Structure 1
Amino acid sequence: MYWLYNISILIYGLLINIVAIFNSKAKLFVAGRKDIFSQIKSKINSSQRPVWFHFASLGEFEQGRPVLEKLKSIDPQQKIIVTFFSPSGYEIRKNYALADGIFYLPLDTYHHAKKFIELVNPRMAIFTKYEFWPNYFKVLAKEQIPLYIISGIFRKNQIFFKWYGGFYKNVLNAVHYFFVQNNESLDLLKGIGFENVDVSGDTRFDRVFENVQAARGLPLIASFCGSNSILVAGSTWPADEKLLVDLAVKNPSWKLIIAPHEVHASHINEIEQLFPSAIRFSKLGQLFENKKDKKDIVSNAQILIIDNIGMLSSLYQYGKIAYIGGGFGAGIHNTLEAAAFGLPIIFGPNYEKFQEAKDLIEIDAAKSINGAEELIRAFDYFNRHHDKGAIASSYVSNKKGATATIVAKIS
């Protein structure tokens, strides 16, 4: 099985180079790994034994960030390096100030893993949620470098728990300690012989709570909102945006802020076709500067399209209700940011992999919908029941504390 895995990684590397010819995200993936070991060697002093954090993408970074920042606050001299697998994480956080080096993770071949760990010589490695790279894990174990999984989540349908999953189960032997989100994960790991596991909870709750405490004001957004009630639609895809059209028409006194998951030009143009009178955020400042009566913009414009990345977590402070995208595709995006700001939440049907979504539904602070009519009913329900947002924020507040549990054990 190990040789088959290694062949698959080589094939993946070949295919991604071909796809990079015509796909911009794949192009970043390939270009970011060019001369990667020279980049690492020029920036990292292996004798300083940095702590290595690896994240799949941006969401995992935000999830693991509280642990990173807590370790740094305890020992400001501790060197930190960060790796990402995906461009959507690296490109946004490549200038993160608390890391001494930020890199793409070289593909998981044994040669790459050995060279990477020799150059970095980490004191420990911390992987977030569910990143399992057999060759990196193998080299870490061989070098006796502690490896921690934080905010881990395991499900019974994963290959580790199948009769044919022996290879991947053995990969987990490299993990020094598992910090998991729930009792199901704990029971699954113990069921296959792992005792080095605790239920610490999910560090995302710490992160989103911190976001609320340190929320930065957005004057242009505040001016657009005026005194109107706001629905914030976060991380939307085309299937989500089409549903929102009828909602906007039937609720003219409400304003909608749409922050799509993809902000490339063609997608923004598609949203503008659905909402012809919408304003792009990138043009909002100019409109306010040029318009003599700025109140006209506030009163006449109903839809604002956020055509950049990085604002969403701060937008929820202006909302009354949130719609979270992705539920008509691979799965919903981050619901906790909205919940932390006290917004009841609506999302599509594909949410089963997300415990917090199921929890929020159970406490009546969220609703899942299958189409436009259900969206209208869910919106009307939350518009009438203003207490549901407070239930959402209390849920987040009560789930804090994973970071302290983890750091107490590893520091």
Structure 2
Amino acid sequence: MRIIIFIIYNLIIYPLFLLIIFFLSIFNHKIRNGFIGRFQTVEKLNKHFNKVRSNSLIYWFHCSSYGEYLQIEPVIAGIKKKKINSIILLSFFSPSGYDNAHNKNVDCKVYMPLDFYWTISSILDLVRPNKIIFATSDLWYNFIWVAKRKNIDTVLIGAKSKKYFDKKLSFLHYVYKPMYRSITKIFTINKNDAFVLNRYIGDSNSKAVYQMGNPRYDQVIANAKKILDDNKKPILERENILLFSSMDSDDRNVVLSHAIRYMEKNKNLQIVWVSHEPTDQENKYLESMFTRRDISVSVIDSIENFSDNESRVKIINIVGALAKLYWKVKVAYIGGGFSTGVHNLMEPSVAGLPTIFGPNYNEFDEALEILNNKSGFCIEKGSEFIEILDQLLNNDQRLLLTSAAAKDLIDKNSGVSNKVVEAILSH
């Protein structure tokens, strides 16, 4: 079966995939940048690794996008701390990761090379990695198979169960099974995923599946430590500010009109609005929605101007400001729950913020944990959002308990990256 899948993958699936990517790259500059970047990978690797000594410790980390990178960032730091002279190679599938990941611990950053058998084989002979570490789910057939044939250990961090694991009539069930079976160690976030993965993989002497937790918690903890203590007020000492974070049009359409009506009744409430991808068009639309109800609004282009601005609504027109903003507000609505999936819930939790989000959260373990420990709330419609918001802003005891639960969740999940590092470095 494996030989048949190998032939189908190399003669049909992967060439067809590249053809689709090429077609999409004509219309999308991000896809185009990633596609072109793959053809530069071999040159970059040759330039870097031809100078590397043959006995060097080399760890190759691969992830799809920036979100997955944040999961492995503390693991990279941990390995570099324990193996000071090791070389870290980091590869990405998506431009969102390649363009935004800046890490002094990374020695070489590239796009994932084209997954042709001979290309991968020659690259692994050049790089000679001691271990290859994948984040979550971006697995490539030839990459994993060739690594196994060359006796290179592979590790998968943050593995999740998939629907096709139990669907024996699904083609994906048979495509991915040999890949998972070929991975040396698999680390899951929760026990259920570990159980399902063990059942899917079946008998395999080289297999080890461990429930480890999510190392991304350590990443948000480390980032929070970089924020000055003077900017970290206890929840009850903060101004009456509601933060809309990582908002897209689907979430905006559910909650915006309700938020405006609530502001009209509660004159002491302020709003900070951060779009997932800020644009002039979206900012102008938001401005018009607030100003037509005589609510003062400003577009902020610098976080330094935040405190001096007296408008009741502040629209943030920059990226990368959320980590600091979470410490200035009392409640956060996190976008994505009415579209592709709720965005980062860990950053507001580390700031002790109660969070509210939409119903598309089941793929995110931290969302399930937040709901279970009652530090966050899921809504199905805008009226529910206002009910929860009103209860939090007008009941200091409930706000304080919810804030404490958020911090407790972070504390409970700290230290995972150290366990992952130890497991990677062990034989």
State the alpha-carbon separation in 2 of the partners of residues 232 and 87 from structure 1. Answer: 28
Q: Decide which of 296, 300, 308 is 2:318's aligned counterpart.
A: 308
The secondary structure found in structure 1 opposite 2:38 is coil
Which one is further off, 140-149 or 38-47? 38-47
The residue aligned with 1:25 is: 30
Counterpart code for 1:244: L
CA deviation after TM superposition for structure 1 residue 218, in Å: 11
Which residue, out of 219, 242, 245, partners 1:207? 219
Distance in 2 (CA, whole Å) between partners of 1:33 and 1:27 is 10
1:364 corresponds in structure 2 to: 374
Q: Does residue 130 of structure 1 match 2:137? A: yes
8 Å Cα contact 1:233/1:259 also seen in 2: yes
The answer to whether the 8 Å contact 2:251/2:335 transfers is: yes
**Range moving further from structure 2, 72-81 or 256-265:** 256-265
User: SS of the residue aligned with 2:317?
Assistant: coil
Which residue among 244, 248, 251 is the counterpart of 1:240? 251
Deviations 1:200-226 (A, max 9, x none): 11111222222222225899x99xxx9
SS of 2:333's equivalent? strand
State the match for 1:330 in structure 2.
340
1:245/1:183 CA distance change after superposition, 3 Å = same
Distance 1:32 1:273, change over 3 A: farther
Q: Secondary structure at the match of 1:331?
A: coil
Tell me how far apart the structure 2 counterparts of residues 129 and 113 of structure 1 sit (CA, whole Å): 21
Q: Deviations over 1:253-282 (max 9, x none)?
A: 222222222234444444444445543332
Query: C-alpha offsets along residues 219-249 of structure 1, whole Å, 9 cap, x if unaligned?
Result: 9x99xxx963222222211122232343144
Instruction: Spell out, residue by residue over 1:102-152, the C-alpha distance to the aligned partner (whole angstroms, 9 max, x if none).
Output: 111123332332233233221111111222211111111111111011122
Provide TM-score, normalisation by structure 2.
0.85
| TM-score for the superposition, normalised by structure 1 | 0.88
**Is the counterpart of residue 402 in structure 1 residue 416 in structure 2?**
yes
SS of 2:348's partner is helix
Contact kept, 8 Å, 2:242 with 2:331, in 1: the verdict is yes
Report the CA distance shift for 1:55/1:265 in structure 2 as closer, same or farther (over 3 A). farther
Task: Give the equivalent residue in structure 1 for 2:404.
Answer: 390
Aligned residue among 255, 258, 261 for 2:276: 261
Give runs of aligned pairs for residues 335-346 of structure 1, distance below 5 A.
Answer: 335-346=345-356
Unaligned runs of 5+ in 2: none
Residues 216 and 238 of structure 1: is their aligned pair in 2 closer, same or farther, counting only changes over 3 Å?
farther
2:300 to 276, 281, 284: 281
For 1:404, the aligned partner's letter is: N
1:73 matched to 2:68? The reply is no
**Equivalent residue of 1:132, what SS?**
coil
Work out whether residues 9 and 107 of structure 1, in 8 Å CA contact, stay in contact via their aligned partners in 2.
no
Q: Distance in 2 between matches of 1:56 and 1:350?
A: 21
Residue type of the alignment partner of 2:319: I
Quick one: distance in 1 between partners of 2:337 and 2:7? 37
Distance 1:248 1:260 in 2: 17
Per-residue CA deviation, residues 38-78 of structure 1 (Å, 9 max, x unaligned), is 12211234533421111111111111111110111112211
Contact residue 323 and residue 345 of structure 1 kept, 8 A? yes
Q: Tell me if structure 2 keeps the 8 A contact 1:201–1:401.
A: no
SS at match of 2:113: coil
Give the counterpart letter for 1:234 in structure 2: S
User: Which has the higher mean CA deviation after the structures are superposed, 141-150 or 249-258?
Assistant: 249-258
Could you give the per-residue CA deviations for residues 263-316 of structure 1, whole angstroms, max 9, x where no partner exists?
A: 34444444444445543332676x79xxxxx96x32xx1222232332222321
The offset of 1:187, in angstroms, is 1.0
| Percent identity of equivalent pairs | 28
Q: Aligned to 1:144, what secondary structure does the other structure show?
A: coil
1:59 to 52, 67, 71: 67
* C-alpha separation in 1, matches of 2:376 and 2:145: 42
Which stretch of the first structure deviates more once superposed, 176-185 or 350-359?
350-359
**Counterpart amino acid of residue 214 in structure 1:** K
CA distance in 2, matches of 1:368, 1:21: 39
Determine the C-alpha separation between the residues in 2 that align with 1:363 and 1:136.
Answer: 40
Given candidates 92, 104, 107, the residue that maps to 1:97 is 104
Equivalent residue pairs, number = 395
2:103 match: secondary structure: coil
Question: In 2 relative to 1, CA 377–27 (structure 1 residues): closer, same or farther, beyond 3 Å?
Answer: same
Q: Distance in 1 between matches of 2:40 and 2:76?
A: 27
Distance in structure 2 (CA, Å) of the matches to 1:97 and 1:74: 15
Inter-CA distance 268–125: structure 2 relative to 1 (3 Å threshold): farther
Distance in 2 (CA, whole Å) between partners of 1:2 and 1:237 is 40
- The structure 1 residue matched to 2:362, chosen from 352, 358, 361, is 352
Distance 1:231 1:197, change over 3 A: same
Q: Which stretch shifts more, 237-246 or 358-367?
A: 237-246
Does the aligned pair in 2 maintain the 1:217–1:314 contact within 8 Å?
A: no
Could you say if the C-alpha distance between residues 170 and 401 of structure 1 is closer, same or farther in structure 2, counting changes exceeding 3 Å? Answer: same
Q: Secondary structure at the match of 1:32?
A: helix
Q: Which whole-Å CA distance do the structure 2 matches of 1:257 and 1:217 have between them?
A: 22
Mean Cα displacement is larger for which, 107-116 or 335-344? Answer: 107-116
Give the secondary-structure state (helix, strand or coil) at the position aligned to 1:240.
helix
What one-letter code is carried by the residue in structure 1 that aligns with 2:105? L
Structure 1 unmatched ranges of 5 or more: 289-293
Amino acid at match of 2:269: W
Matches within 5 A, 1:174-253: 174-192=182-200, 193=202, 195-215=207-227, 228-242=239-253, 243-251=255-263, 252-253=267-268
Provide the rounded CA distance (Å) in 1 between the counterparts of 2:271 and 2:297: 9
Does residue 1:148 correspond to 2:155, yes or no? Answer: yes
CA RMSD of aligned residues (A): 2.6
